[in-house]
Structure 1
Amino acid sequence: MSTILITGGAGFIGTNFILDWVKNTDENIVNLDKLTYAGNLHNLVSLTNNPQHIFVQGDICDSERISTLLERYQPRAIIHMAAESHVDRSIHGPEYFIQTNITGTFRLLEAARHYWGDLSVSRKENFRFLHVSTDEVFGTLTKDAPAFTENHCFQPNSPYSASKASSDCLVRAYHHTYGLPVLTTHCSNNYGAYQFPEKLIPLMIVNALAGKPLPVYGDGQQIRDWLYVNDHCQAIRVVLEKGQPGETYNIGGWNEKSNLEIIHTICDVLQQFQQKDYRALITHVADRPGHDRRYAINAHKIERELGWRPLETFETGIRKTIQWYLENHDWVAEVQSGDYRKWVEINYTGRSQ
């Protein structure tokens, strides 16, 4: 039976990708996830008795475990999503990001290189290593600057983005040095179901529903491009199927909005459901150190060469997202564990208004 291997499949994007994959294909998917704070196997409870989804708890830094999985399941592709991904956490504890995003990617590449090298000629030609990265590796843009293209220079400004830029460089090097057939994607800010509430959109939703302050960094005018997670998952499938080895593809939602605009929209949509003035909860707090001012993705290449374009507008995507959080109180309560509360205290307590 044909199989692919995904790393980080119990996280936000990985969960949505696996659910979409099982729904739309008959191919098996092996899910390697360490199950750190943001990895939640309950996200995939609907697949508990589905033999198509094979879960393995493990660390991408464990070379022996990875090699064993590759040998056992003989995947035709690896989709590498496992990563530490929260900028604020990288500021407080950068070493975790270096270990997972750089060392982990290196060890995964090494195992993939040896596995790929032993494949038959036909299987070798069809194998792919797809590395999922971020637009944050490109740094920050001024308000009127052109959006990031695939040829934009790396200028990372946080420990998180620096670690991802490093992993991107390793992936590129393994293609040019060893011939490993790699693909790299750079996505903009994702949002949707199952997102851990440390990120902006789910944090604002769950805080608003709990009547807690909605913390806005600085003036709230930091601009991001927003991509609905299901659109991102479809794009990854397209890149895996049609992408050319050695190429990179930007994946964006064509939705540039400021953080404050996002928060206002969330408040207004929630008010339609709950009839409360959620905007009154908005509280400006001290900005994040080194906060990038603007990210913007130029996604013309993937549309031109592979025929992909997002289906959701921000207006339709945010409504679906808010509806999901309103209908999944138990999931929200479960992920807001002691570790989560401790993190909120570390990151937000003491920030001057």
Structure 2
Amino acid sequence: MLAVVKTGPGADNVVLQAIARPRALPGTAVVRVIATGICGTDVHIAHDEYGYEAPVAMGHEILGEVVEVGDPEDVAWIGARVACETYYSTCEVCEWCRAGRRNLCPTRRSLGSFEDGGFAAFVRMPVLNLHRLPATLGPLDGVLSEPLACVAQCLLDPPVIDAGDSVLVTGPGAMGQIAAQVAQAMGGRVTLAGLARDSERLAIAAELGITTTAETPPADSFDVVIECSGSAPGAAAALRAAKRGARYVQVGIFGRDVTLPIDLVLYKELTVSSGFASTAQSWRRAMALLAQGAVRLAPLVTRRVEITDWQLAFDAAQAGEGIKTVILGADSAV
């Protein structure tokens, strides 16, 4: 089968090539890929700014259908439409795994970076990490389940927003759009901030009922600031916009060392938190938000491409075009 593979160091070493179709092993399932979203992490992997082990088929925001299982007791999964946690394996014995924080396992191996991922026709993954999608979802809604679970990890475990809080979200990409919706579902009075060039993205958020701005956020104005741009200017703007005693939540990945006015954390007594990837609990929260209709994901899928046009998808993601670009599975009908 064809797959988008990171073959080694350098952005030129991301290629479309044939790899073996996976087969189910004990404890695993083979999923036919319907679509896989391009994440900022994929762009970072392409440019060697995020850990990986080459060669590896990329892609971890996977929507698919289970077609094969390795154990007879898992046969009920056959035919299920699923999204998946990004882990392929963790040690299960370290202090973080034992505490239910498998996302922090030092030996964690994840799909799309250390194990073959979803930019392919089929992908193998542990049954333990599968999540059935609510039947009410549209054809491509589930492709954003993994980013939603990551946002839930940042904002809901534990909750960082109280009803009535003024909330600033910086960066109107997929993570910012989802974070804004989750913050609003928590009762926050949300403003999503972008740049002048983000007008189309901000318009989509406005249609979803989110207040938006392309202006510099006012200083000392927000109870909670959520940084989703993954840029130093965005983070600096969020720190300056936070009130004294406010909370700063880092969601975006910079991919490199950046310079920030970090003394503001001290001067304002800010509480700083984040969340890396997702946990089983954050996935349960994500599925509940979808089932309740509290978060709408379909409008965020702004471009879909065939796997043979994967370079167009990567270029769009790197250029910040649209919100979420997805690569379709080889025989996808969506």
* TM-score, normalised via structure 1 length: 0.29
More strand by share: 2
Between the two structures, name the one with larger relative contact order (CA 8 Å, sep ≥ 6).
2
* TM-score, normalised via structure 2 length: 0.30
More helix by share: 1
